[in-house]
Amino acid sequence: MNYDLHSHSTASDGSLSPSQLVELAKDSGVDYLALTDHDGVDGINEAQIAATNNGLNLIPGIELSVSYQNKTIHIVGLQLDIEHQALCKGIVKLQNYRLWRAEEIARRLQKVGIENALDGAREFAHGKMIGRMHFAHFLIKNGYAKDTRAVFKKYLVKNKPGHIHGEWASLEEAMEWIIGAGGVAVIAHPARYNLKRNKLKKLINEFKELGGKGIEVVSATHSTNDINTMAYHANEFNLYASVGSDFHDPKVTWNQMGKLPPLPERCKPIWNLWN
Ligand code: AMP
Ligand code: MN
Ligand code: MN
Ligand code: MN
């Protein structure tokens, strides 16, 4: 069975609609797909219908933005009851913060001479979750940078004009929302936070104490070395291992759907929890 437990649609910053995403997953040989849009579940119902039509298993998920020790980290929730009240309230809070942040990003970009960034980014967000990727699309379209990589580097990361220090959910809140909704919590792409070994172990420990079940061992954003490190930590902490492409866009070649390395054999796959 081919599992991809981390992906994005137009309900957040992906470029495919939930149905197009499911169709691509099907064509790519994925049997189990989790849709894990940033801070929202608006794409799940459409994805579920497409999955039923295509004979694919859809896992309702989310990728929550969390402020942890002065950093932004991401916690994936899988197998969620997307109507659960605490989760829905949490989503509203994060979406409101996103709206405020988008206005603030636009104000800051205006200070460096970039006009109408809010309307521009909104056009790309299509009334759904607004994020830095939508600003990136607007900035590229208007010639401020040549591609996504360049635009983030120039405008949207720390110490650049369009960057704002995130004030997202706390780790405790995110865990409560996911577990409250009957879901399984997974640390997304743990190698991406540039945490030193001890800090990473501290995060994993706190996460586990709050009821966390898994960490992404295989992610398209992980090197072979990262995969081995995270497999080691998963086993050390007796956590389940997850696998996800973090797919956003078919034009981005390095994280294509269904093209991930296998989980190291010593790992306990997260899908053992529901199979
Ligand atoms: P946000 O949650 O709105 O702050 O946006 C985070 C998203 O922006 C990530 O999920 C990626 O899709 C994208 N992103 C962040 N950093 C980069 C980068 N350096 N290059 C390309 N995309 C990025
Ligand atoms: Mn994203
Ligand atoms: Mn992420
Ligand atoms: Mn993601």
Query: In the predicted model, is pLDDT for residue 274 greater than 90?
Result: no
* Nearest atom in ligand 1 to 38's CA: 2
Q: How far apart are CA 63 and CA 185, in angstroms?
A: 10
The CATH class of 3-91+170-273 is: alpha beta
Judged by its nearest atom, the ligand closest to the C-alpha of residue 247 is 4
Three-point CA angle 222, 223, 224, nearest 5°? 120
The residue contributing the CA closest to ligand 1 atom 4 is 132
Closest ligand 1 atom, residue 13 Cα: 12
Domain ranges of the chain: 3-91+170-273, 96-156
C-alpha 247 to ligand 4 mean position (Å): 7
* Spatial separation of the C-alpha atoms in residues 193 and 197, rounded to whole Å: 11
Averaged pLDDT score across all residues of the chain: 97
Q: pLDDT tens digits, residue range 76-108?
A: 999 999 999 999 999 999 999 999 999 999 999
pLDDT reading at 239 higher than 90:
yes
Task: Establish whether residue 148 lines the binding site of ligand 1, counting it when its CB lies within 6 angstroms of any ligand atom.
Answer: yes
CA distance readout (Å), 77 to 60, 121, 137, 242: 8, 27, 27, 11
At residue 167, the pLDDT reads 96
108-166 pLDDT, tens digit each: 999 999 999 999 999 999 999 999 999 999 999 999 999 999 999 999 999 999 999 99
Instruction: Report the pLDDT value the prediction gives residue 50, as an integer from 0 to 100.
Output: 98
Global pTM?
Answer: 0.98
What pLDDT is recorded for position 124?
97
SS3 per residue for 216-240: EEEECCCCHHHHHHHHHHHHHCCCE
Protein residue with its CA nearest to atom 6 in ligand 1: 132
Q: Identify the CA nearest to 58 among candidates 7, 97, 112.
A: 7
Atom of ligand 1 nearest to the CA of 130: 3
- pLDDT for position 22: 98
Nearest-atom index, ligand 1, CA of 131: 3
pLDDT at residue number 235: 98
Separation of CA 176 and ligand 3 centre (Å): 19
* Distance from residue 175's CA to the centre of ligand 4 (Å): 17
* pLDDT tens digits along 215-237: 999 999 999 999 999 999 999 99
Looking at ligand 1, which residue's alpha carbon is closest to its atom 3? 131
152 lines ligand 1 (CB under 6 A): yes
Q: In the beta sheet, which residues pair with residue 243?
A: 218
Assigned CATH for 96-156: 1.10.150.650
CA separation for the pair 104, 101 (Å, rounded): 5
133 alpha carbon – ligand 1 mean position (Å):
6
Q: Report pLDDT for 258.
A: 86
Pocket test for ligand 1, best of 6, 38, 73, 132 (most atoms within 8 A of CB): 132
Give the pLDDT of residue 25: 98
Provide the pLDDT for residue 200: 98
CA of 78 to the centre of ligand 4 (A): 13
pLDDT at 104: 98
What pLDDT is stored for residue 275 in this prediction? 78
For residue 244 the two structure tokens come to: 């996800």
214 in contact with ligand 1, CB cutoff 6 A? no
